[in-house]
Structure formats: structure tokens, C-alpha cells
Amino acid sequence: MQKWKVNDTEDILKRSREEGVRAIVSVTEHSGEFERLIRLSESYPDFLMPCFGVQPIQNDADCPRSVTMKDLEPALKWFEKHQNDLIAIGEIGLDFTPWLTPTAKEREEQLKVLKLQLDFAKRLDLPVNVHSRSAGRQTIAFLKEQGVEKALLHNFAGRPSAALEGVKSGYYFSFPPAVTKNNQREKLIRQIPLENICLETDSPALGPNREERNVPWNIRIPCEYIARVKGISPETVCEVTTQNSLRLFQKMHHKLNK
């Protein structure tokens, strides 16, 4: 995973507002990121929307590995303490990439970690932001099995048939700027109704150029790409996906109006 070791968060947030970004939904990958995100969200209460989550792939000294229950344990107290501050639980999910999760035991552990976080989200009536690499069909099936009603499948790369199963359950799918470099996503985007699509950047990763740090105002790139694929105007895509996001992240309304 590419890392950008820079310390210009404040500048990025300021520039994002200047570029017309209304709000940023910020997800986490591990509990070590929670405290800083909460501090930032307190400084930008009407702009930075915090989500807590433990991702299925963790990095130890830049060496990726499959998540374990031990990774989740320190996160649980943060979930409880800041439950009123969160607008979603994420980034959570499944990652069955063979070289990262080679054994059935590791996949089962991911499912346990995911289930506990889904249980928390359901208890607080919060949506979930979901990672589903090499596990699109399994992830959607598990969300449905667990009774999840509000989910965003971020950077979804599964088959259209799997996505349409998610559409039936009212799930949303989001696509970052990197989607413009992947021809396989065109068919997927064409088949998913616009009413089930949201925009994302996933910054600092998944930008239009692999080695270039992504930024929040690149949100225009997937907007324009989706408009071309669907043969509609970027303005329509912007309006509909904005309403979709507000419908999904319902606590955002209150924060935007502070």
C-alpha cells in the first residue's frame, strides 16, 4: 500500500473547502487513528464527519496481514466513548486476497471481526462503510445475512450480478478517481442504478494516477466519469449522489447545519 508521509492535513482541509467540497466522510483502518480523527472533527464539526472502523487488512511496519480479534479489542472502548460523534462505522469488511488471507482460519477471523462491528452499527442505527476486495459476493451475502440495511460498498470491484443483489437490499456503491483507469468498472457502473451510487475519493489512495497522492477535491473525477458512462450530465450525477449520501449518512444533516 502506498504511503504519503506528509503533515499538511490542515492545508488539505482548507483547500478542499475552497474547491467546493461540502463535507468529508473520513474513515479509519485501525484504532490508532481514532483519537486524531476525533480531534480533527472537533476542529471542523460541520465539515469533517468521523467514522471508526477496523479494516480487514492491517499493517505491521508496512507489512500487511489479515485482521485478528486482538486488533478489534482496543477499538471497542472508542466505539462506546464516541458513539454520539460517529456518522458511520468504517472502514470494515472482508479482504480475501489470496496472498493476504491464504487460510480458512484467517477468513473466519475476518468474519468475526466484521460481525462485531456490524452488531455495533446496528445497535446505534449507523450505516457501514465496507471494504470487499476479492470478496464482493461473500461480503454482500454476509451483510444481508446479518440484517444490515444501510451499507456503502466502497470501491466495489465485484461482478455486476453481485452488485445487483446489493441493490435489491438498498445498498450503495461508491467509486473513486482510479475508476477511470479500470475498464471493467464501466459495465458495473452502467448496471448499477444512479440512485444506488455515491462518489468517493478514498484519498490519499486511489487517485487518477497511481503514484500521485489523491485529494478530496478529485471527487469531480468519478462524477464526470459516471456521467459519461451513463450518458447524463455531471450536474445530475452530482445532485443524485449528494442526495444518496445524505440519505445514507443521516447524521450528516445535523452536523452540516451546526
Which residues are part of a known binding site for a divalent metal cation?
91, 131, 154, 202
Contact 110, 47 (CB under 8 A): no
Give binding residues as ranges.
91, 131, 154, 202
Contact 153, 176 (CB under 8 A): no
Cis previous bond, 204, omega within 30? yes
Rounded distance, CA 88 to CA 91, Å? 9
Residue 54 has which C-alpha cell?
477496523
Contact 207, 179 (CB under 8 A): no
Residue 142 has which C-alpha cell?
454476509
User: What count of other Cβ atoms lies within 10 Å of the Cβ of residue 232?
Assistant: 13
Task: Kindly report the length of the chain.
Answer: 258
What is the sign of the dihedral through the CA atoms of 174, 245, 32 and 72? negative
Phi, psi (degrees; rounded to nearest 5) at 49: -105, 110
Cα 58 off chain centre by: 16
Residue 215 has which C-alpha cell?
485529494
**DSSP track, 197-234:** EEE---TTSS-SSTTSPP-GGGGHHHHHHHHHHHTS-H
